[in-house]
Homo-oligomer: A and B are copies of this chain.
């Protein structure tokens, strides 16, 4: 966990309002788990509208040899808008890697893993899939998007394992919800990242196998000091009663915390 100026090495639009950003710096050599994130200070452009707080973005994949991180983000507000205006060569103040990611070792050797992603919850699953296949784990991906124009990384995921695409409107792949396909998959451990309703639905379906979910919360510090991101544990007897999404998570074993 360090703070440094990382250099933008590539900025590419990969779907409607979705960008792939490559950053070079030492943080890329410090990532320990897929599903960790970085907290970025987005440079302002105009005096009247500048982001103050950092923005948390998951690490999609990492290339430590080339000291490079890949992030994928959707433009939703001011910070992500300004981030999408940064160009190769520009420097961005990045703090990371932060948090606890997906436990890769939960899948027994020679086992099978299922990944379920929705929208911009999909990116960290790519790094996870890379880490799992590196270990010889067989991976299946069920990825949901709103529509044709929102899909990204289909080929990249397909190169690693079976990949089922869903769209809300059926404009590409299957029409429906990612949960529709869970029953068809064979797996030992499941991992999910995406919008809250999706996580809840997945948690309702996958009750018999280990499931790990990645959560989002608005953040202040990003590393455990401000309690902006605290969520209740499900177990009322838990000695602390809460977890911090930024440092105890963002990935939790399903059932550890209340999904909210």
Q: Which of A46-54, A191-199, A215-223 lies on the face that meets chain B?
A: A46-54
The reply to whether A50 and B47 form a contact with Cβ atoms under 8 Å apart is: yes
Residue numbers in B under 8 Å from A45 (CB-CB)? 43-44
Interface of A is mostly: loop
Q: Mark A23-57, 1 if CB is under 8 A from B, else 0.
A: 00000000000000000011111111011100000
User: A51: nearest residue on chain B (CB-CB)?
Assistant: B47
A218 to chain B, nearest CB (A): 16
Query: Complex Cα distance A260/B41, Å?
Result: 42
Residue numbers in B under 8 Å from A46 (CB-CB)? 41, 43-44, 50
User: A79: nearest residue on chain B (CB-CB)?
Assistant: B47
A66 to chain B, nearest CB (A): 28
Interface residues of A in 42-78 (CB under 8 A from B): 42-48, 50-52
Residue tally, chain A, CB below 8 Å to B: 11
* Residue of A44, A45, A47, A50 with most chain B CB atoms under a 10 A cut-off: A47
The reply to whether A44 and B42 form a contact with Cβ atoms under 8 Å apart is: no
Query: Complex Cα distance A46/B82, Å?
Result: 11
The reply to whether A44 and B41 form a contact with Cβ atoms under 8 Å apart is: no
Interface residues of A in 84-106 (CB under 8 A from B): none
The reply to whether A48 and B43 form a contact with Cβ atoms under 8 Å apart is: no
Residue numbers in B under 8 Å from A43 (CB-CB)? 45-47
Residue numbers in B under 8 Å from A50 (CB-CB)? 44, 46-48, 50
The reply to whether A52 and B47 form a contact with Cβ atoms under 8 Å apart is: yes
Query: Complex Cα distance A44/B43, Å?
Result: 8
Pairs across A and B, CB under 8 Å, 18 listed: A41-B46, A41-B47, A42-B47, A43-B45, A43-B46, A43-B47, A44-B44, A44-B45, A44-B46, A44-B47, A44-B50, A46-B50, A47-B50, A47-B51, A47-B52, A48-B50, A48-B52, A50-B50
A residues contacting B by CB (< 8 A) are 41-48, 50-52
4 closest A-B pairs (Cβ-Cβ)?
Answer: A47-B50, A44-B44, A44-B47, A47-B51
